[in-house]
Amino acid sequence: MCDAPETGHLLHVPARRRALFTALGVGAGIGVLGLPSPALAAVTGWSNPTRGTLTSGYKSPSRPGHLGWDVANSQGTPIYATADGTVRDVKTNSYPGDTTSGPLAGRTGNSVHINHADSYFSYYGHLHRVLVSAGQRVSCGQLIGLMGNTGNSTGPHLHFEIHRPRLTSLDPRVFLANRGITLGSTAPVGSTGYPSVSQGASGWVPRVIQYLVRARGISVVVDGIYGAGTTSAVRSFQSSRGLYADGMVGPITWTALVLPLREGNSGDLVRGLQTALNARGASLLVDGGFGSVTTSAVRAFQSRNGLVADGLVGPVTWSVLI
């Protein structure tokens, strides 16, 4: 496996979290358009491009022209470069139902096409958002986009292909398996950020979600069990914000749910914060009051994680906390 690079220069932020902030528009690296691609060294490592459930397979009997694997997860799930390379082409400004082709034949919506060494290239389709530019050098495990539902798609997923021109397309699941990687399951190099949470989960993270959803005026039982009621409540929230209403809380839904907090705030958002702090080692009364004791717990958490210890809970602190 290869090591993930550090991207950008985000002060006070641990390197393991920087990829997430790129997705949120902080310190995103943009390549120079039109410059010759740097020479590529031999491929020394590969990474799983994302996590999720495998759905449509490579050249399946029902879809013999399907030259990749589809990996489904919630909208906004991070997508990473599967190896070092140079971005050859991108497509942006696509939308659900878009019938135009991307860099490769097929209605795969927003997409990224990366050239690797040894004549390999990889392709990533149906993205919600593209975070790289044509001509940009990328490293194995670098964040390149967010999973989406653009193009000919019935739900958020990644369409992933690997090619070697003289051998045409390759089965990416087999290709990665031969390198010790299980497509969709093995943690991508450099992976970080908010978890994707869906029905069947239990524990403190679903409890935080329930508090955050309830804080937005949607009725839900706060019991730490992500059942049908929580799924329905999350769908209602997503619909109210114009998000893909799949009932799963992924990176985009998380960033819509959390709000900045500081001493003096009160209510269910603070209860969600206190629940998360307790899961990270604090011993707070979950009373919904952001007082001096909660401020001290926030500062202690920030200090332990290399953040600015100001007691203010903004997007950076929320993302590291969850």
Write down the pLDDT at residue 119. 86
pLDDT confidence bin for 166, thresholds 50/70/90: low
Residues 95 and 126: beta-carbon distance below 8 Å:
no
Tens of pLDDT along 51-61?
A: 888 988 888 78
Write down the pLDDT at residue 96. 93
Phi, psi of 204 (to 5 degrees): -70, -30
Tens of pLDDT along 303-315?
A: 988 888 999 999 8
What sign does the dihedral 198-202-208-210 (CA atoms) show?
positive
Mean pLDDT in residue range 273-283: 95
Backbone dihedral region of 17: left (phi > 0), alpha (psi from -120 to 50 degrees) or beta?
alpha
Least-confidence region, from 84-88, 114-118, 123-127: 114-118
Phi, psi of 261 (to 5 degrees): -130, 150
Mean pLDDT in residue range 185-208: 86
Between 169 and 271, the more confident residue is: 271
Q: Is the pLDDT of residue 191 over 60?
A: yes
Q: Is the pLDDT of residue 231 over 50?
A: yes
pLDDT confidence bin for 21, thresholds 50/70/90: very low
Q: What percent of the chain has pLDDT over 90?
A: 56
Mean pLDDT in residue range 133-156: 92
Q: Report the DSSP beta bridge partners of residue 112.
A: 90, 124
Between 182 and 210, the more confident residue is: 210
What Cα–Cα distance (Å) separates residue 160 from each residue in 31, 54, 98, 111, 202?
22, 11, 18, 10, 31
Q: Is the pLDDT of residue 23 over 60?
A: no
Between 117 and 91, the more confident residue is: 91
Write down the pLDDT at residue 306. 82
Q: Is the pLDDT of residue 121 over 80?
A: yes
pTM: 0.66
